[in-house]
Chains A and B, each alone.
Chain A
Amino acid sequence: MIWFWLRQLDARLRLLLPLALAVGAVLIDVLPLLGLGPWGLTPFSTLCVVYFWSLYRPDLFGTLAAFATGIIYDAVAGLPLGLTALILILTRRFVVMQRRFFAARSFLVVLSCFLLLAPAAAIARWALACVWWGRALPFQPIVLSLLLTMALYPVVSLLLARVHHQIPRLSHAP
């Protein structure tokens, strides 16, 4: 009996993995890994994670999860609350709307779409930040951060794909 409950608990916890990994990505993004955070040399790996789960498991990574991830990012990074949250829920929405296009496509197509989406998300975030602070922020760090994010996607995708296989598929998934 106890094994049955433990298995149930295990299955439930696995369903929380997408959100937990998105929060993990936030923590890794804000860690002073190279000590170069203020100079823009930090990848925005959270965007990679949100893109991946929105594409492959939108049933487990809902709009609320994307919003919560963004709010946590904003709070820890000292950004205005709502800035990253807005970008992440828009990203999720866009990816979910285009799921039919992505269905059964190769990794190269998925990667190409990310390479198009990431600059759009970065520019939108930068523009929103400029409006919020009422001044033009330097653009060069955004470009550096963006290049690092785009380079990171294949690695993040590879790691998340392994986790993806460990998550049970729900029968009522859309």
Chain B
Amino acid sequence: MKPERRALSRLTLPLKVLADRFAFGALVILSLALLAVGKANVHLLEGVSMRISDALVPALQTLMQPVTASRRLVEGVGELLALRAENARLKEQNLRLLEWQGAARQLSVENAALRQLLKMPADPKLPTAATGRIVADAGGPFVHTVLVDVGTEDGAARGMAAINERGMIGRVIEVGRHSARVLLLTDFNSRIPVLVEPSRDQAILAGNNTRRPTLVFLPLNPRLAVGNRVLTSGRGGVLPPGLEIGTVVAIDDAGVTVEPSVDFARLEYLRLLEYDQVVPPEQLEEMQREMYGPPLPPRFVAPDTSYSEPLGSPTDPPAVASGLTP
């Protein structure tokens, strides 16, 4: 039996080597082809990526359990050690916040009164479409994205803003059935319209694959200062306005640098916001065409003669205006 096997393997070995060489060439070409196709049309291979991600999300969720538990344990020990100092800091912060609470209440009443006076609609509510847990964060050194365990079946959709309690994290760029990929503010592909308070100068927050994104397309003579708050402006109608982004930390020759409010090293859960995007009229027409098909061609509709209005009816058109009477 054994000599027979050896003889068989002696015969099949060159074939195996040949097949391996062929597979190598074919797979190198396939990899290059995939890269070229992905470059030509980014969304073409998106479905494949998200299907693979969907399939691996349960495994990632399971692997995350011990990671989360150990991270909480480490954080818990750290908090215990810093309890006294933390308590003093919180007491001081509480006093300051109470002062702010009074001011905020006063401003809120004043704001409501002014809105009523101007007949301005109230700020739209931003309901949460889904809350997801981050199960993967490695685009590694190349892209700054995270994978969350909610997809279309949970209400996630492309374009949604992702936030946590500190502010905006990024926005959804790919969505599968059970997973979604969020592009972080810091990724070099991220561009977000923002405004800087208190000057309300408009700009674009551009990611650069570092911890601190920069402001570009600033207006002429911008009135900026270190410490100014940066919020989403809502321009473009894609993201809701007023979401906290961060603080201006440096203004120099390299540009205006922003420190995001979100601590990207401690991301665990995030909320995806539902927001009715503002659609420009030309796109609206296109969307209607997609939904209801092409518009019907104009055609002559014969007047319905089976029903006659009673005489003297207020709906009778004036004879001169209609121009139909001889």
What residues make up the interface of A, taking CB atoms closer than 8 Å to B? 27-40, 42, 44, 62-64, 67, 70-72, 74-83, 85-86, 89-90, 93, 126, 128-129, 132-133, 135, 137-138, 141-142, 144-145, 171-172, 174
Contact = CB atoms under 8 A, between A and B. Distances in A.
Contacts of A38: 137, 139, 144, 184, 186-187, 209, 264
Contacts of A80: 34-35, 38-39
Interface stretch (B49-57, B79-87, B109-117, B216-224): B49-57
Contact of A142 (B17, B141, B188): B141
Given A29-B138, A70-B31, A81-B34, 19 more contacts: A31-B136, A32-B135, A35-B71, A35-B137, A37-B139, A38-B184, A38-B186, A64-B23, A75-B49, A75-B52, A76-B53, A76-B136, A78-B145, A78-B181, A81-B48, A137-B141, A137-B142, A145-B141, A172-B12
B137 A37 contact: yes
Interface string B106-147: 000000000000000000000000000011111111111111
Contacts of B12: 172
Interface of chain A, helix or strand or loop or mixed?
Answer: helix
B16 interface: yes
Given A28-B63, A74-B49, A83-B35, A35 B24 contact: no
Contacts of B136: 30-32, 76-77
A45 B65 CA distance: 21
A34 B49 contact: no
Interface in B24-56: 24, 27-28, 30-35, 38-39, 45, 48-50, 52-53, 56
- Nearest 7 A-B pairs (CB), nearest first? A172-B9, A141-B141, A82-B34, A37-B137, A75-B52, A86-B31, A32-B137
Nearest to B39: A132
Contacts of B319: none
Interface of B: 2, 5-6, 8-9, 12-13, 16-17, 20, 23-24, 27-28, 30-35, 38-39, 45, 48-50, 52-53, 56, 59-60, 63-64, 67, 71, 134-147, 174, 181, 184, 186-188, 209-211, 264-267
A98 to B, nearest CB: 15
Contacts of A85: 27, 31, 34
Nearest to A75: B52
Nearest to A82: B34
B142 A93 contact: no
B27 A77 contact: no
A78 B145 CA distance: 7
A171 B6 contact: yes
A56 to B, nearest CB: 16
Given A38-B139, A86-B28, A129-B142, A174 B16 contact: yes
A64 to B, nearest CB: 6
Nearest to A145: B141
B251 to A, nearest CB: 22
A64 B264 CA distance: 36
B162 to A, nearest CB: 14
A13 to B, nearest CB: 17
B82 to A, nearest CB: 19
14 contacts: A35-B71, A63-B20, A67-B31, A76-B53, A78-B139, A79-B139, A80-B35, A82-B34, A85-B34, A86-B28, A90-B28, A132-B39, A135-B188, A138-B141
B56 A72 contact: yes
B266 A35 contact: yes
Nearest to A80: B38
B236 to A, nearest CB: 23
Nearest to A128: B35
Given A35-B266, A78-B49, A171-B9, A138 B20 contact: no
B27 A42 contact: no
